[in-house]
Amino acid sequence: MKVLSKLSKFSVCVSLVLAAVFIQVIQAAVIDEQKAREFFSEALMAMYNGDFLTAYELAKKALSGRVYVQELPYFWYLRGRLAILNGEVDRALQDFKNFTMLVKNDDIDNLVAKVESFRKLNLSPSQTFEFGYVSTLRGKQGGVDYFHSVVSVAVYGDELYALDSKNKRLVKFKENKIVQIKSLKRDYKQIAVDGLGNVLLLSEDALYDSRERELLTGLRTPIIAGVSRDGEVYIVDLDSVVVYSLVKKNTKREKLGKRVVCLDAELTVDRLYLLDGINQEILIYDLNGLKLVQRVKTPEKVWSFEVTPCGDLIYLGDNRVIAGGKEFELKGVNLIEYSYPMLFAIKWAGSMVDVYLLIDDKPVFVSVDRIEFDELYAYAYVRVEDMFGDTLHYIQNLLSVAEQDVYTPSFLSFKSLEPKFINLKTCEKELVVYRFQGVKVSGQCPVLVRFTGNGMTENIKSQGYWVFRWQYIRPVPDGIIKVTARFSTKTKVYFDTMFYTNLLLKASIQKGQ
């Protein structure tokens, strides 16, 4: 009887174990390939709406069931990307390593390379530069002269402004065509654009807005170095630097300690550069306290220079441009302007502005932040930024989009949206997390503030997006559609990959209605 009792108990235990295994098998079987796609779609929706934690949980759930073999890299990629967005960077890298040991995947390798570039920021002088012609903007179109002698150029998004001082005109270009000509009331010597795309005009003694309203007077020999992220216009004026705040509408003046015949001036995230025409040297100041930190002798007599975000100097020489010590042929040019990574060569003979790519060896960060739909088109919102998190402007000729790795004709526009912010009391998480999230950091972590594109004292007011619009595949297949946005030069391609599904498309259209 005791033996029978023990056998009976053993039988019950075995039955319970088998039942538990059976239940687990049944539960796992519930997440079949189609159900996994549904979770994948829901993860995309949550991510595009900025709910990264929910998206991460859904992505993990999607990969816990059965997945079509050809779509496995997509599931693995999405889960890893969302792990990064949620601060689990090391876990994502380990998962990617495990996956790519078996199957090579360019999209995953690209994601890993981005993480590594932010973990090991390369701020050293650039060893190589790439230089190449892009397009020409002509002052004479259709037999009519619209400008003759451009003295200054500024860009914002896909628009370029050319200042024709002699004829008192401000000419706006878009898609290589003149779209607006504005007659000006007075002679201006320089044009600049702030972080919101607002035009600023500088005369011999005053600063004006786009409507030619006076902002600042009493200047003597002014040159605009640039507009900071905080909305401050830095103007070198004889023996001083005048800083006018577009936000606070106030002015402060700091002495340079000497009079300088300034021929040109430039501004980066944390440095002010000015060209001393008498001594033929570039003086470099730390913006924090305006301390002189370096003097650089010019290789020859120069009257115009530019600077990359990392501080590599660009000179206009005799029939050539010199970037970081590397020389490139550039003939017949009177002046140059630079908005990283685009160089604008102003030629008075022929009334034209030639546009060139002049890019260093620092990475360009591309991020597809979301994809939306209407009845006719798909829209991809893409950030394209330099190492410091600042948007790249006038790069439309270098951008493209692909579906399933096939080039897709698209219409490209530029849009400014409200940025996302986080205020930190101490440094938290890695830089790569905030850059992938598209978050601007403020508060008590200067390093994160500097490399996420935010101002040190004022939050920036806009986030620039390049928006691709294209006719999506019809009928939309049941599977996962890969979308790739690319910034391409002759020697480099920087890209980002995201996805959409039929379920996401239908939900997006319904939301838009």
pLDDT of residue 513: 58
Number of independent structural domains in the chain = 3
* pTM recorded for the entire structure: 0.92
What average pLDDT does range 115-128 have in this prediction? Answer: 96
- pLDDT average, residue stretch 5-30: 44
- Give the pLDDT band (50/70/90) at residue 457: confident
Radius of gyration of the chain (CA): 28
What tokens appear for 59 in the block? 């992505």
Q: State the pLDDT confidence band at 456, using cuts at 50, 70 and 90.
A: confident
**Whether residue 230 is found in the same domain as residue 244:** yes
* Residue 23, in any domain of the structure: no
What is the distance of C-alpha 459 from the center of its chain? 17
Using DSSP, state whether 506 is helix, strand or coil: helix
Can you give the CATH number for the domain in which 175 is found? 2.120.10.30
- The CA distance from 406 to 234, in Å, is 45
Cα(297)–Cα(311) distance, rounded to whole angstroms?
15
CA–CA separation, 399 and 392 (whole Å)? 11
Q: Round to whole Å and give the CA distance between 74 and 105.
A: 10
Contact 508, 373 (CB under 8 A): yes
Query: Domain boundary at 359, 375, 402, which?
Result: 359
Give residue 78's domain range: 31-119
Find, among 198, 190, 141, 202, the residue nearest to 164 by Cα.
Answer: 190
Quick one: CA dihedral 62, 63, 64, 68, positive or negative? Answer: positive
Residue 114 lies in a domain: yes
pLDDT more than 90, % of the chain: 83
Could you tell me if 348 and 132 are in contact, meaning their C-beta atoms sit under 8 angstroms apart?
no
Answer yes or no: are the C-beta atoms of 353 and 272 closer than 8 Å.
no
- Considering the domain architecture, whether residues 285 and 154 belong to the same structural domain is answered as yes
Cα separation, 258 vs 261, whole angstroms: 10
**Would you call 450 helix, strand, or coil by DSSP?**
helix
Domain boundary (359, 387, 410) is at: 359
Mean pLDDT of the chain: 92
Closest CA to 468 of 396, 388, 363, 416: 396
pLDDT bucket at 12, cuts 50 / 70 / 90? very low
Same domain, 269 and 149: yes
**How confident is the model over 315-366, as pLDDT tens digits?**
998 899 999 999 999 999 999 999 999 999 999 988 999 999 999 999 999 9
pLDDT score of 119 more than 50: yes
Residue type, 284: I
